Amino acid sequence: MAFDRKTLVIPDKTNFEERIISTNGDVVIGDRCLLQFSINTNGRIFIGEHVITGGNLHATNDVRVDIFSEISGDIQSGGNVYLGEKVKVKGKLSLKGDLDVGDSVEIENGFEAKGWINIRSPIPVVIYIFIYLLQLLKMGHSEEIDRLLEELEQNDGKTIPISESFLFIPNNSIIGLSKSQVDCGLRIGKECKVLGNYDIKGDIYVDDKSNVYGTLNSKGNVFCGKKVKIHGNVVANGEVNIGGRTHVVGNVSGEKIYLSKTASVQGTLLAKKGISFIDSSEEEARDKVKRFESDADIVDEVKGMLE
């Protein structure tokens, strides 16, 4: 699956309950996001800066929360926990590994840690680097300054590898109980249960056998795989493709609609450039095009070679 860091990615077999998102693998939440759900995963949880969550965090592995973020419930971790400066935890923190906290971290209901506890200095590392550079300038060691800046630049882009299956929420997203908003695309994996209405500025892709309890509104195109159920409307500025045995309990509107002969829509169909009914062979061809565009065929081929 192609990953552009702007697409909301919901992996296979993710379930949205009333206020809990249960998933497999790592969870990555970008900066300045609002999440009104709790998170439950068997992987790790990474939370960016200035994030607000409306529930608990439960991970069997590590949890990392960056600066100025607020966790409205408890944090439970089977690994290590890192809390950046000014992080607020309104519940209780429980972890089996080491705890690393920054300056002015608030944990309202206390914490239990079985490993080491490290409280970092309130003076940021950048201040030490700045003082060191000033001293080097005074001493005339320009070569040492160039070497240090090169090392900082190389380390700045260091990435943390995440699991093959992951949930990713891009920067500035709102994932709400009734309404969600993302600045780019949405991709829902297979056999998922997703709650809420989604306003998406990019394309929407819903994979096979997933259920969406809400309306999908896209500024781009919408593609629904086979045996998908949409309990709401499907609205797109571009094309809408409804796969075989997919059921839409609502209206469908778009620039052009491609509807499988085995699909069903309870509401009305509205398309400025018409509606085309596709049979199974055409459907398979369009599905292959979509899979090629999302690199799915390449991934499947590589997996087959490794097996």
Q: Are residues 131 and 142 in the same domain?
A: yes
Q: Are residues 163 and 191 in the same domain?
A: no
Q: Are residues 164 and 36 in the same domain?
A: yes
Contact 119, 98 (CB under 8 A): no
177/45 Cα distance (integer angstroms): 20
Contact 76, 94 (CB under 8 A): yes
Q: Determine the structural domain holding residue 240 and report its residue range.
A: 177-298
- Specify if 25 maps to a domain: yes
How many CA within 13 A on the CB side of residue 264? 7
- Helix or strand holding residue 298 (H, E): helix 296-306
Q: CA 4 from chain center: how many Å?
A: 11
- Specify if 12 maps to a domain: no
Give the chain's length: 307
Nearest-CA neighbor of 36 among 149, 171, 196?
196
User: At how many degrees (to 10) do helices 125-139 and 142-156 cross?
Assistant: 160
Q: Are residues 160 and 182 in the same domain?
A: no
Q: Could you read off the pLDDT tens digit of each residue along the chain, which spans 307 residues?
A: 445 678 999 999 999 998 999 999 999 999 999 999 999 999 999 999 999 999 999 999 999 999 999 999 999 999 999 999 999 999 999 999 999 998 889 999 999 988 888 876 555 555 556 666 667 676 776 676 676 666 656 655 455 677 788 999 999 999 998 899 999 999 999 999 999 999 999 999 999 999 999 999 999 999 999 999 999 999 999 999 999 999 999 999 999 999 999 999 999 999 999 999 988 666 666 666 666 665 555 445 444 534 4
Q: Are residues 262 and 122 in the same domain?
A: no
Residues 6+ apart with CB under 8 A from 141: none
Residue 303: other Cβ atoms inside 10 A: 9
Q: Are residues 38 and 162 in the same domain?
A: yes
Residue 141: other Cβ atoms inside 10 A: 14
Domain boundary, last residue among 176, 194, 221 = 176
Hey, which residues does 186 pair with through a beta bridge?
8, 204
240/33 Cα distance (integer angstroms): 28
- Specify if 16 maps to a domain: no
Q: Are residues 43 and 68 in the same domain?
A: yes
- Helix or strand holding residue 216 (H, E): strand 216-218
Nearest-CA neighbor of 169 among 19, 36, 17, 18?
36
Q: Are residues 35 and 147 in the same domain?
A: yes
